[in-house]
């Protein structure tokens, strides 16, 4: 029992340190900068709804709704 703890406790500390390092790296690289944007993107309809209320098509969209791409 005591022998296994000699391996498991350092292993748990090492894994915790790796997880903390990954979390700190994600903070530095900006992974949590735009939390509201991801929440709003899921609500945007794929057919051209825009958050800013603009009516002109964005790049790559057809200007005529009946126009089909070949």
Give pLDDT, residue 43. 82
pTM: 0.51
Q: Which residue has the higher pLDDT, 40 or 12?
A: 12
* 3-class SS letters over 10-52: HHHHHHHHHHHHHHHHHHHCCCCCCHHHHHHHCCCCCCCCCCC
In the chain, what are the domain boundaries? 17-45
Quick check: 12 pLDDT over 90?
yes
Q: For position 55, what pLDDT does the model report? A: 60
More confident residue, 4 or 62: 4
pLDDT digits (tens, 9 = 90+) for 15-57: 999 999 999 999 999 988 888 887 888 887 766 655 666 666 5
């Amino acid at each position: 029992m005591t022998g296994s703890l000699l391996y498991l406790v350092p292993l748990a500390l090492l894994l915790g340190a790796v997880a903390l390092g990954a979390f700190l790296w994600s903070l530095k690289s900006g992974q949590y900068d735009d939390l509201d944007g991801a929440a709003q993107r899921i609500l945007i309809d794929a057919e051209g709804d825009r958050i800013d209320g603009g009516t002109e098509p964005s790049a790559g969209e057809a200007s005529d709704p009946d126009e089909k791409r070949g």
